[in-house]
Amino acid sequence: MLSPAVKSDIRACYQTLQDQLPHFIPRKAQNYLVAELAKTLAGDYEPKRRLLVAEAGTGVGKSMAYLMGAIPFALNNNKKVVISTATVALQEQLANKDIPFFHRICPKPFDFILAKGRQRYCCAHKLSAVADTESIQGALFTQKPKRSEQLLLNDLYATLSQGKWDGDRDSWPKPIADHLWQAIASDKHTCHAGLPAHRGCPFAKAREAMDKADVVVVNHSLLLADLELGGGVILPEPEQCLYMIDEAHHLPTVARDFSAASASLLGVISWLEKLNQATTKLGNTADIKRAHRFVDSLLEAIQTLIPGLREIKQQLSQLPLNEDGCYRFADGELPDALISPSEQLKTASKKAHQALGKIHDLINERLKENDISAKLADPALAETAFFLQRLENLEKVWALMAQPNSDKGAPLARWVQACREREGDLWVHVSPLEVGWRLDQMLWSRAAGVGLFSATLRALNRFSYFCRQVGLSETDGSRYLALPSPFDYANKARLVIPTMPCEPQASDFTDALNEKILEHLEGERASLVLFASYWQMKQVTQAIESTCKQRGWQLLCQGSQSRTALLKAHQQAVNADKTSIIFGTGSFSEGLDLPGKLLTNLIITKIPFAVPTSPVEEAHAEYIERCGGNPFLQIAVPEASKKLVQSVGRLLRKEEDSGKVVLLDRRIITRRYGQSLLDSLPPFERVIEP
């Protein structure tokens, strides 16, 4: 049950919130979300399933709601709060604005930190090695740095040594080139607190601060990285954490991509040959008397891997690649001729990974015991770390390739892709189709409590599609909430579905768009036009840009400049009472914030149906058909529903906003699935032309 202490702290937060915000308007939906989250975390509904799934419409104030519901509960129950987001923008908003504000109104003090992956931090030891031009360690670079780059490295080292920089790549005022950063970035193989020279490294300090923090802000990728390692390796133990997962509609895709693996064949052979040449030298650095059996094991594995990869490349080269240079194995099933070679590559890559890991550990051990100088050990450790990371990935690829499909659940998607960078090379790809069971295994069944939040979790007004994606069930004891936006949609906005000469599948639809878009831009000061394809956007741009120029309208097309510069130009024009129009594709349908007069006219050219063009999407559709389902109704329509809701959500960002949405796709009223899409949209005033 929710304790009196937690209730008291939440009330105190809310009272202080009212006192500190002069124009604060109480929101019933926000208050309800705070209460329901706190009661769910306390186990009031289901002690063994403390999980809340909440769709909160624009304007509910979900960020402040989950801070108010989770942090007081965590502080009173000796738990930590991990907040995970999908975008950098929301991370920064939480870390720089929302949490500092909540920190001021919370009656109990707490520490918070924005956590990043190890590779966002430099390794102080590596940096010191490359900052000195006299003893520069070439093993850390693929090419010797230019003079300007060497000066930058010296500056980085001096600033870090003086305590004026924390070693975080993102906090350095100017961009650092990737090849430079890779040479000095922290990595798990060579940078750990067991070595004296690394105890004061930036990541070690950040990790120490993370361990002390009560609230940790991460992104979905870092969250999944920790869970894949077993949990509690990067972040606190799941059993001690309350996870507040914002932008949760992105979680299934991020989880699937994180579980996938790929490797090129000739590329792997190339670095394996280099490893073969370096193995004896690395064994000597590790002390050949102790390392000889690992050296022998590594060399044996490499002698299996290189011819094995050449043999499998020869077989895969016979496959009929499509026009995109891709061949997907139907139902994820490998032909018999590839099963045994895949098993051999799986075994050999695991053997190589383990053997090199032992050599690496022996070098570390000698360095720790002062049996070898850092000048000799550091290049060897950098080299072994380089190869260990690649062997780890290689092992994952062939373990997944060799894994037999289960009778239960979806198969793995397996495909081969021609390599654009290296002629004649092939990439081998493997990806799961469904990751819900893994999320349940790694997180839902282990966490002390979970809140999943987004403005778009439901598809077609139901949670069932999202539940299937993330491994939940509407009857598993989890709590589900759908909280409407406080906005007065019916009086503030209109949804217009105009008469169109044809539907999107017609060949002359793009020509029809030219005329209709100009018609609905007339008389509007600030417009956003969303296209389903980049090609179509460019076609319309070329057709109407001269007309826009003649009428004195500013036309800003996605890709013509950075997103930040484009939005700044739009804002300046609108604030100067000039007409400005933004053309964008799907990425502009989410996370674009144009409040007030910056957007009053939103035009959507097509219902955003995703065409299953990627091998993973094709494999998923194939699997659903094999199970007797309909991929269009089970995947395409629910996804389109979510994207359409996200798209129309660009119009009203604040309660005083108003405007109109124009949908130039008549299928929403002519097709059977159209009504369900229409019903999932906010309750705009509807204007449907005959």
- Binding site: which residues? 123, 191, 201
* Token pair belonging to 346: 């799986």
The enclosing H or E element of 7 equals helix 4-20
The enclosing H or E element of 420 equals none
Secondary structure (3-state) at 281: helix
- Cα(439)–Cα(227) distance, rounded to whole angstroms? 9
- ∠ CA 221-224-229, nearest 5°, is 130
Whose CA is closest to 582, among 555, 604, 606, 561?
555
* Token pair belonging to 3: 């304790």
- Cβ within 8 Å of residue 605, ≥6 positions away: 504, 513, 517, 529, 530, 531, 532, 536, 664, 665
- Cα(468)–Cα(434) distance, rounded to whole angstroms? 8
Whose CA is closest to 57, among 488, 609, 450, 532?
488
N-term to C-term CA, the chain: 57
Strand 426-432 with 261-264, pairing: antiparallel
Whose CA is closest to 266, among 306, 321, 319, 326?
306
How do the residues of the chain divide into helix, strand and coil, expressed in percent and rounded to 5? 55, 15, 35
How are strands ordered across the β-sheet holding 51-56? 112-114, 215-219, 80-85, 241-245, 449-454, 51-56, 479-483
- Cα(535)–Cα(407) distance, rounded to whole angstroms? 41
CB atoms within 10 A of CB 446: 16
- Cα(386)–Cα(187) distance, rounded to whole angstroms? 9
- Cβ within 8 Å of residue 347, ≥6 positions away: none
Q: What is the CA radius of gyration of the chain?
A: 28
Evaluate whether 636 touches 643 at the Cβ level (below 8 Å).
Answer: no
Whose CA is closest to 308, among 430, 394, 388, 420?
394
Secondary structure (3-state) at 459: strand
Annotated binding residues for [4Fe-4S] cluster, as ranges? 123, 191, 201
